[in-house]
Amino acid sequence: MKRLVPLLAIALAGCGLHPLYEGGASGTVARGLADIDIAPIAGKSGYLMTNALRDRLPDRGGAAAKYRLEIKLDDSIVGLGITRDNTVTRERRSLRARYQLVDTVSGEAVLDATAGSDAGVDVVNSEYATIAAENTALENLTDIVADQIVTRIAVYTRRTAAK
């Protein structure tokens, strides 16, 4: 077993994999993520998305942003489970984001992508409980989509820095 560990280390070193956040807070990806300003996003889902992204992106410390992140959200709720008396018993909440990373100097979109996720919500007799479940689903979906966006931008930053 002790002989296997050095062989695995050599094999992994030769595979071309590198840590995404190599260098920590002073690394290429962290510095690239700190150069992003978030454009205003409309609505409740926009407010939640802005806060989720601010939690995930490093603080610029007052420096001018090199990029602006523009996001358009599509938040929808669709009834899935329907009984014989046309009562909805299950809903699917979907949150889709189309986002662009725009160079603030040239105005060119350097990254144009989408992210999204779905959540199921049980519709119960209590309207308050159903609304609370829908709101919780939106908060969770916002976190998931924000993670997808930041990860995609981090990969883009890493790839462009390697060129």
Residue with tokens 């002073």: 26
Flag whether pLDDT at 133 surpasses 70. Answer: yes
What's the pLDDT at 159? 86
Average pLDDT over residues 42-61: 93
Please give the radius of gyration of the chain, using alpha carbons only, rounded to the nearest integer. 21
What's the pLDDT at 118? 97
Q: Are 45 and 72 in contact (CB under 8 A)?
A: no
Flag whether pLDDT at 34 surpasses 70. Answer: yes
Q: How far is CA 108 from the centre of its chain?
A: 21
Domain ranges of the chain: 4-162
Residue with tokens 């820095």: 161
Here the tokens at position 135 are 């709101």
Backbone angles phi, psi at 148, to 5 degrees: -60, -45
What's the pLDDT at 60? 73
Instruction: Provide the CATH number for the domain formed by 4-162 in this structure.
Output: 3.30.160.150
What's the pLDDT at 161? 76
Taking only the tens place, the pLDDT of each residue in 140-154 is 999 999 999 999 999
Q: Are 101 and 114 in contact (CB under 8 A)?
A: no
Count of CB atoms within 10 A of residue 46's CB?
19
Measured distance CA(93)–CA(132) in Å, rounded: 13
pLDDT band of residue 29 (cuts 50, 70, 90) is confident
Flag whether pLDDT at 157 surpasses 70. Answer: yes
